Structure formats: structure tokens, C-alpha cells
Amino acid sequence: MTPTDLVDLHLHSSCSDGSDTPAELVRTAFDHGCRSIALTDHDTLSGLGQASEQARALNMQLISGVEISIPFQQRTMHLLVYLNDGAHEALEEHLRVLQTGRRERNRAIAKAMADDGIPITYEQVVVQAGSEEGLGRPHFAATLVNLGVADTIDDAFDRFLATGRPYDLARKSLTLDEALELVRASHAISVVAHPMTLGYTTTTLGSIATELRERGVDGLEVYYSRYRPEIRLELEAIAHAAGLLATGGSDYHGTYKIGLKPGVGEGDLRVPLRCFTDLSDELSRR
Ligand code: AMP
Ligand code: FE
Ligand code: FE
Ligand code: ZN
């Protein structure tokens, strides 16, 4: 029997690098048992109108969000930003700058691949993505698969696009302090997404969590689909000790991340309802 009370605070639509339109995504989340969700596309709020309309029609609770990439030490931190309803002009202005940087980076990736003899054009990747807006590395990966250059999206990342691979080119980004200032000014909430990608052990992450909290980070993504239950428990303890909100989600991207479903991730994910209520309560205080 499908549950009807699942929570998922990390979902991507075709406005960034997911394969489902915002309306399809919300419908799919509903069909998998979600009733309390957040849309967190990369660098854009453009799916939120359609998503909230669909959520309203299905009587679901939806929090607005966006995920931004920030250089951190030698790695990239993904910061989930959760927002109150209403206008976000300052944030949108910064997101437009990030989108322009993304476009420049994307053209540079296409050129670098073509220069190296990979038979790909920027236009093919735009067709794959549906538009230039929200185009990202997963669209390059899918195009390489279609061209027969890579076997799967993961294979394309492993060989060409993942961190440290030849076509992971840098793009314009905000510093963590700039992003946190923008979050504060937007009366929003910041959460470090999939924190193990920062590359620390949970022990080190424990000490860094307090520093992050002091710098203005509000939460930690504890219940992440691709983390083992033991890791989720350790992250839960870290968030609790540092006074950070605990959130969670699948990071569902449709066909761009195989094996994940909204709400349940790889099957065993359960994000406690209090993650959603704590987050909305905290937002209402901002
Ligand atoms: P971009 O924002 O264009 O730099 O692309 C980043 C996106 O690529 C992430 O949000 C993930 O969806 C995806 N991604 C990053 N690394 C990998 C990887 N190693 N394997 C599969 N997908 C990845
Ligand atoms: Fe993504
Ligand atoms: Fe992410
Ligand atoms: Zn994500």
C-alpha cells in the first residue's frame, strides 16, 4: 500500500536538471505518497508558479526553494535555500547572474569537448535540456549517452564531467558569506545539501557544523536518499549538537538520476514530518 504522508524537501524539475515538468513532478511526488514537499531547482525559481498551482490542486503542502553551488575548501557545497511565499527580487537578481555564468560555462564545455574531437554541439545539448535556462552537466551527460560516447549518465560523469574530470569547468558563483547574506536579506533559510559531498568524515563534519551555524547556516540535510541509515543517524546527531535544523529529501531528478523516487529515494528514505513543520515554522518567524 502506498503511504500518504511522505515528506520530500529536495526535488528537481525540468526548470533545472530534472526530467519532469514542475506540474508532472508534483503529481509524481503525490502518486508516490508525498503530501509535504519542496521544489529545489538549481539557480532558478521559475518552476515554483506551476508547482504551487499543482500542489494546491492536489491539496499538498509546498515550500519554495532553490539550490545553489558554492565553492567550499577544495569542494563544492550545495546550499538549499527555502523561501517564504512572495517576491524575491534581490535573490532573483543574483540568480540571473548565476544563470548567465552557467550559460557561459556551458558554451565553454561544448567548445572544449568539440575541440577534443567529441562530436557534440551546444545546440544538441540545448535540445536535450529543452532550453538554455537550467541547462547543466546532466544534459551534457545525457547528450553524450545519445551520441554513443558514454554508456550511461554515470559513465559520462565518471569519465568527463564529475569533479576533477576534464569538462567540469568552473562557473560564476557566490561565496558562502555572500549567499548567507542574501538568504538573511530574503528572510529565507539555508541548509547544507548532501553534506557528505564536502568530503569530510562525520567526525570532522561535527566540528565544522558548529562553525557553519555561527556563520549563519540554518540547517543540515540529514535524511538524504543516498546515505546509509548509519550516516543519517550520525548526521542527525551532528545537526542536533550544532543547533541546526534537520531536513531531508530524495534529490529526485527523474531520468537524470536513475533509481530515485520522490519521498522514498532508493526505497528506504523516510523524512520525518517534523522536518517539514520545523522548516515552515522557522520560515514563518523570518
Ligand atoms: P551543474 O550545476 O551544471 O554544474 O551540474 C551539477 C549537477 O550534476 C548536480 O546537481 C547533479 O544533478 C549532477 N551531478 C554532479 N555530479 C554527478 C555525478 N558524479 N554523477 C551524476 N550526476 C552528477
Ligand atoms: Fe542536479
Ligand atoms: Fe545537490
Ligand atoms: Zn539537488
We report the CATH number of the domain holding residue 222 as 3.20.20.140
Average pLDDT taken over every residue of the chain: 97
Compute the distance from residue 139 Cα to the ligand 2 centre, in Å. Answer: 10
Residues 155, 244, single domain; the answer is: no
Does residue 129 sit in the same domain as residue 181? Answer: no
Closest atom of ligand 1 relative to the 253 alpha carbon: 12
Say how far residue 213 (Cα) sits from the centre of its chain.
Answer: 20
Residues with CB under 6 A from ligand 1: 17, 42, 69, 136-138, 153-154, 157, 162, 253
Q: Is residue 26 part of a domain?
A: yes
Give pLDDT tens digits for 13-60.
999 999 999 999 999 999 999 999 999 999 999 999 999 999 999 999
Query: Which amino acid makes up residue 55?
Result: A
Q: Which ligand is nearest to the CA of 138?
A: 1
Strands 75-83 and 61-72: antiparallel
pLDDT of residue 129: 97
- CA 138 to ligand 3 centroid distance, Å: 12
Q: Same domain for 128 and 192?
A: no
Ligand nearest to the backbone CA of 14:
2
Ion ligand 3 neighbours (CB, 5 A) are: 78, 193
In a shared domain, residues 81 and 190 = yes
Tell me what pLDDT residue 90 has: 97
143: CATH: 1.10.150.650
State the ligand closest to the CA atom of 150. 1
Does residue 167 belong to any structural domain of this protein? no
How close is the Cα of 162 to the center of ligand 3, in Å?
13
Pocket test for ligand 1, best of 10, 13, 15, 17 (most atoms within 8 A of CB): 17
In a domain, 1, yes or no: no
Answer with the one of 161, 184, 212 that is the final residue of a domain: 161
Asked, for residue 166, whether it belongs to a domain, the answer is no
> Does residue 222 form part of some domain?
yes
Mean pLDDT computed over 104-128: 98
Cut 0.95: pTM above it: yes
Residue 69 CA, closest ligand 1 atom number: 2
Q: What is the model's pLDDT at position 56?
A: 98
224-280 confidence digits (pLDDT tens): 999 999 999 999 999 999 999 999 999 999 999 999 999 999 999 999 999 999 999
Asked if residue 1 has pLDDT above 80, the reply is no
Residues 198 and 68 reside in one and the same domain: yes
| Among candidate residues 117, 134, 161, the one where a domain is terminated | 161
- Same domain (yes/no): 190, 275: yes
Supply the pLDDT for residue 3. 86
87: its cell numbers: 517576491
* 47 and 26 within one domain: yes
* pLDDT-derived band at 202, boundaries 50, 70, 90: very high
- What's the confidence (pLDDT) of residue 2? 82
Q: Which ligand is nearest to the CA of 171?
A: 1
Whether pLDDT at 118 is above 80: yes
**CA 162 / ligand 4 centre spacing (Å):** 15
Angle between helices 229-242 and 202-215 (to 10 degrees): 40
Verify that 78 and 154 share a domain, yes or no.
no
Q: Which of ligand 1's atoms lies nearest the C-alpha of 102?
A: 3
Instruction: Please check whether residues 130 and 251 belong to one and the same domain.
Output: no
**What is the Å distance from ligand 2's center to 210 Cα?**
27
Mean pLDDT of all residues in 133-156: 97
**137 with 22, same domain?**
no
Q: 145 lies in which domain range?
A: 100-161
Q: Whose CA is nearest to atom 14 of ligand 1?
A: 138
Query: Is 191 among the domain residues?
Result: yes
CB neighbourhood size of 127 (10 A)? 13
Which domain-ending residue is among 161, 181, 212? 161
Average pLDDT value for residue range 144-158: 98
**Minimal-distance CA residue to ligand 1 atom 5:** 137
Verify that 114 and 83 share a domain, yes or no: no
Domains identified in the chain, total number:
2
- Compute the distance from residue 1 Cα to the ligand 4 centre, in Å: 28
Q: How confident is the model at residue 151 (pLDDT cuts 50, 70, 90)?
A: very high
Strands 219-224 and 189-192: parallel
Residue 173: pLDDT band (50, 70, 90) is very high
Looking at the fold, whether 51 and 31 belong to one and the same domain comes out as: yes
The pLDDT-based confidence of 180 (bands split at 50, 70, 90) is very high
